A = this chain, B = another copy of it.
Amino acid sequence: MKNSIQKISIVGFGNVGFHLSKAFSERGILVSHIYSTQKGNSNFPNDAIIVDDLASLPNDQLVLICVPDDAIASVIDQIPSSCPVAYTSGSVNLNCLPHREKIGVFYPLQTFSKNASLNVFEIPFFIEGNNQSFAQELFDLAWKISRKVNFANSEDRGNLHIAAVFVNNFTNHLNYIAQNYLEEKNLDFNHLKPLLEETVKKLEIVSPKEAQTGPARRGDLKIIEEHLSKLSGDTKEIYQTITNSILASYKHEKL
């Protein structure tokens, strides 16, 4: 492919940097330089040069920025001005960053943890660029590691990120609450694993609205009151807030 990106630098070797670097290596794209404040991380690719100065990244080579949102602007300022840059954030608007000749977004809509292996090929990527040809280069790069690549402007990407917070971060927190609640009662969270799996599996064939069951779905205020009487603090507040929202969705009277 003409002009296709064969070599990149990565800034930040947290969960996202680690998984993307691995995916690129596996697909024959050389991660030649990594900027990281970590020393001697055993997960660094063998053939990468680890640098501790952003200004020393190779000129003219794409830099993929995998750092927390509030660090992106200052990282960009320190990268050689000849380098095209792209960042992996869901929320940061392209227009809010320092101007570059080539700047874009390479957003993987997924939750990354070092300990969990991931099939990057199934991750939806959302691509944006400050000009069309650079956006296309980033698209083609993403296409080498994923079969779910899309263009999206900053607004759509921000909205996808909000929905992702509900689906991932908040769901995860509900599991955290359920686990804590059961542990306080000396009960085993593993009993809930088949239910959790089915919760997701069901959504392959029915919509969340049709999939709903439980006391709030049925408008069973007696059971809801009984549950609330056993809860306290954040847990009670979350129970109440979500239950009221479910009751309203099915046109039952709220608590």
Interface residues of A (CB under 8 A from B): 15, 68-70, 91, 109-113, 115-116, 118, 122-124, 148, 150, 156, 158-179, 181-182, 185, 187, 189, 191-218, 220, 222-223, 226-227, 230-231, 234-235, 237-239, 241-242, 244-246, 248-249
Task: Write the nearest CB–CB distance from A131 to chain B, whole angstroms.
Answer: 24
CA–CA, A235 and B208, complex, Å = 15
Using Cβ atoms and an 8 Å threshold, which residues of chain B touch A109? 191-192, 194-195
With A169-B214, A223-B91: A182-B196 Cβ-Cβ less than 8 Å = no
> Given B115, B167, B172, B205, which contacts A205 in the complex, CB threshold below 8 Å?
B115
Instruction: From A159, A170, A237, A241, name the one whose CB has the most chain B CB atoms within 10 angstroms.
Output: A170
CB atoms of B176 and A163 under 8 A apart: no
CB atoms of B185 and A156 under 8 A apart: yes
CB atoms of A245 and B234 under 8 A apart: yes
> Given B69, B70, B194, which contacts A122 in the complex, CB threshold below 8 Å?
B194
Task: Write the nearest CB–CB distance from A210 to chain B, whole angstroms.
Answer: 7
CB atoms of B181 and A208 under 8 A apart: no
> Given B164, B193, B211, B241, which contacts A172 in the complex, CB threshold below 8 Å?
B211
CA–CA, A206 and B189, complex, Å = 13
CA–CA, A241 and B236, complex, Å = 11
CA–CA, A237 and B245, complex, Å = 9
With A113-B206, A122-B194, A198-B110: A163-B148 Cβ-Cβ less than 8 Å = no
Task: Write the nearest CB–CB distance from A72 to chain B, whole angstroms.
Answer: 12
With A116-B205, A206-B113: A172-B192 Cβ-Cβ less than 8 Å = no
CB atoms of B227 and A207 under 8 A apart: no
26 contacts between A and B (CB under 8 A): A68-B218, A91-B223, A91-B226, A110-B194, A111-B195, A111-B202, A111-B213, A113-B213, A115-B206, A116-B198, A116-B206, A156-B187, A160-B191, A163-B192, A166-B181, A167-B175, A169-B212, A169-B213, A171-B174, A174-B174, A175-B203, A176-B212, A177-B245, A197-B200, A200-B200, A241-B241
CB atoms of A238 and B241 under 8 A apart: yes
Residue of B nearest to A93 (CB): B226
Residue of B nearest to A121 (CB): B194
